[in-house]
Structure 1
Amino acid sequence: MVIPESRSELLSWLNATLDLNYTKIEQCGTGAAYCQVIDSIYHDLPMAKVNFQGNSEYDYMKNYKILQAGFTRHKITRNIPVDRLVKCRFQDNLEFLQWIKKYWMENKDETEYDPIAGRSSSMNRGVSTANTAIGRTSTSTTKKIEPRSTLPPTDPNRKKSSNLNNPRLRGTNSHSASVINKEVYELKSQVVSLSEELEEYQIVNGGLESERNFYFNKLREIEILAQSSMDILNAKDMSGTENIDVTSLLKQVQEILYSTEEGFKIPDDNDENDENIQPSTVLETPRKEDISMLNEETF
């Protein structure tokens, strides 16, 4: 019988393997470390897209999407309980990390792996521009304190020509232009990335608004039905007339509850498998057998 490893043993292994400084098992819930463990085995995960600095479940879901793609590519049949792992709970991540280490021990070859280089493009996102700006400021400061010649030039025209032909000055200008071009390229890349994220947020927000309106309209219809029934019961001319048909009223409520929008399709099991780990944005309509019917004694 294999004895499960303790929290401290797992953290020591993870930090040593990936050169991290994790202090809690819960930190693995971002999915980034899981991605890099698999990358250390196969060297083909797009680590540049893995977000080690994510601080929301939306960021974590992107990491798990990359991890699931790696599992699919290498035919790893282990199920990834994303909905539980992203909550960053201790027990869920402890069990998955135990399995990850076992898989790593069974499949890792002798090929060396540099974890820092593997995640450098991911961890440095958002700070490269700042580093570039600091370097440019330092270069500018160095130029200002450069010692000048104490001998006055005898010929102004000769000085101008000498400055233009000075290889050191030409090299400085070329370096500055290179730094600026690199910074512009990085800023453009950030704009494209942020635009893509904004578009995804807008799509998700639109779906949530549609669901909210869908269920609000159901409640509104039931409210109108209930109010009209109460008006009939409270009417002065109700004496001597028949009461409201409870069965008919309940059927109307059921019709409202089980109604769906035009074009709505309940996904089957195959559709869910095709979607892999992407969270569903459509709430299932409750089944009739899950709702207990009210009997006439309630009224």
Structure 2
Amino acid sequence: MAVNVYSTSVTSENLSRHDMLAWVNDSLHLNYTKIEQLCSGAAYCQFMDMLFPGCVHLRKVKFQAKLEHEYIHNFKVLQAAFKKMGVDKDVAPPPNPGDQIFNKSKKLIGTAVPQRTSPTGPKNMQTSGRLSNVAPPCILRKNPPSARNGGHETDAQILELNQQLVDLKLTVDGLEKERDFYFSKLRDIELICQEHESENSPVISGIIGILYATEEGFAPPEDDEIEEHQQEDQDEY
């Protein structure tokens, strides 16, 4: 939610038109040539989106507005954003670009994000007529620093998890090869014991008893599966 900042004769800054224009161009990286271009409302929408990314439907903003009904449309978009973020201000196309809404916007930006220098919107765009030919900042807007940092952290986490998956797969492959190796030896012992089973040797009987002993939930692999794993191991080497 926004912090409501009330503009009074004490809190307002007495900026010249030149200072206003310079502040707008510097903050939004625009190339406005006249302060009257603020009457379109597009810059105010950009300021609001810079303060609260995503609160303004920038696709609805008419960035090359030249007619009064287009100005009114932009200020309706701005009013909707104000209402969404709890800003206590009714806006309308201002007859004077330097009126209270400008001072309130500047004060709000200075209060909410005094450290922010990267604006939303493109820089050094060519002007056409009275208005700057500015592309919608929803396309060219730079992400806030927090979003960029979050992206780097997410990429690092993904790389770490992928490496863990690779390590686990190598561990499982090694354990499977070791299991098959010892199982094949036990299979050879079983065959030898079966060949001498008729001798009724207590040693042979004891070995067979150990080989055939099972636990609940255990199922030995089939011979075909053992042969398949052995063939895969031979192919790898």
TM-score (normalizing by structure 1): 0.35
Between 1 and 2, higher relative CO (CA 8 Å, sep ≥ 6) is seen in 2
Higher helix proportion: 1
TM-score (normalizing by structure 2): 0.44
